[in-house]
A and B are shown apart, each in its own frame.
Chain A
Amino acid sequence: MQMNRRKALASAGAFGALLVAGLLRPVAALAAWNRAAFGAKSAPDVMKGLGVANAEPSTAIVIEAPQIAENGAVVPIEVMSNIPGTTALAVMIEKNPFPLASRFDFMDGALPFVKLNVKMGETSDVRVVATAGGKHYVATKEVKVTIGGCGG
């Protein structure tokens, strides 16, 4: 790639300015990532890590997932909460080596809904925890996997 000296200097200057302005913070400070919950190896430990161990069962959490997933490498999962005031959703694949697949915070302006593709090592319950008004609610749905998607 060719880049003239003036352009290179200009972009270096811009980068420096961003650093000074504090817009580029170190990765560690930038990334809010719950190491305890994501590193937990069982669903109960994940729930402890997320601080939602006392979640009560709810039928107002809707989990759309295939009953049988032929390819564990790409399992579509759609999650929605009908609990008023839901601010967070966490998705766990109970039998994965690290069950927590993702968690989302929904601010004003977003609906408590997410659809994503996950890897599943084997047939497992998908467990979803919703947080609303400081309380936690949980629902599960089993997905049968015919070919796992974690190993190589």
Chain B
Amino acid sequence: MSAGPMRMRATLGSGFTDVRVLMSHVMETGQRKDASGQVIPLHFIQNVTVKLNGKTVVEGEVSQAVSRNPVFSFRLKGGQKGDKIEVSWLDNTGVTNKTEGAVA
């Protein structure tokens, strides 16, 4: 399964850079059943990484309790216009996706 679209917005706040990112993912809990009563298997993002100008600044481990199509906000110290932000994820089936953008 290919990964759905990702969106990211990084804006300068007062003294920090606000990074908001939206990931398209089912985040299946492994607790739901389909119409025929079969358990829908666990399928969720496990790792989230935020890089600032190529350097890892936030590393997250995530469970199936995060909502479908996760939205995360992070805050980076300082920052200036044009700084490069990269956010990537990896799910429990090995699918990965990333998005890049500059601070606006």
Say whether B67 contacts A32, CB under 8 Å: no
Residues in A with CB closer than 8 Å to B46 are: 31, 33
- B75's partner among A30, A102, A111 (CB-CB below 8 A) is A111
Say whether B55 contacts A151, CB under 8 Å: no
Q: Does A10 contact B (CB under 8 A)?
A: no
Q: In the complex, which residue of chain B has the Cβ closest to the Cβ of A26?
A: B94
| A-B contacts, 17 listed (Cβ < 8 Å) | A73-B68, A78-B73, A100-B65, A101-B65, A102-B61, A102-B66, A104-B60, A105-B59, A110-B58, A111-B77, A114-B58, A114-B60, A114-B72, A115-B72, A119-B29, A150-B29, A151-B31
Q: Does A109 contact B (CB under 8 A)?
A: yes
Say whether A30 contacts B60, CB under 8 Å: no
Residues in B with CB closer than 8 Å to A105 are: 58-60
Q: Mark A31-61, 1 if CB is under 8 A from B, else 0.
A: 1111000100000000000000000000000
Q: In the complex, which residue of chain A has the Cβ closest to the Cβ of B29?
A: A150
Say whether A31 contacts B58, CB under 8 Å: no
- Main SS of the interface on chain B? strand
Complex Cα spacing A100 to B64, Å: 9
Say whether B31 contacts A118, CB under 8 Å: no
Q: Measuring CB to CB, which residues of chain B are less than 8 angstroms from any residue of chain A?
A: 16, 27, 29, 31-33, 40, 46-47, 50, 52, 55-68, 70-77, 90, 94
Q: Top 3 closest A-B pairs, CB basis?
A: A152-B32, A115-B73, A117-B67
Stretch at the interface among A11-19, A91-99, A128-136, A138-146: A91-99
Say whether B47 contacts A113, CB under 8 Å: no
Q: Does A103 contact B (CB under 8 A)?
A: yes
Residues in A with CB closer than 8 Å to B52 are: 109-110
Say whether A111 contacts B16, CB under 8 Å: yes
Complex Cα spacing A152 to B31, Å: 7
Say whether A110 contacts B65, CB under 8 Å: no
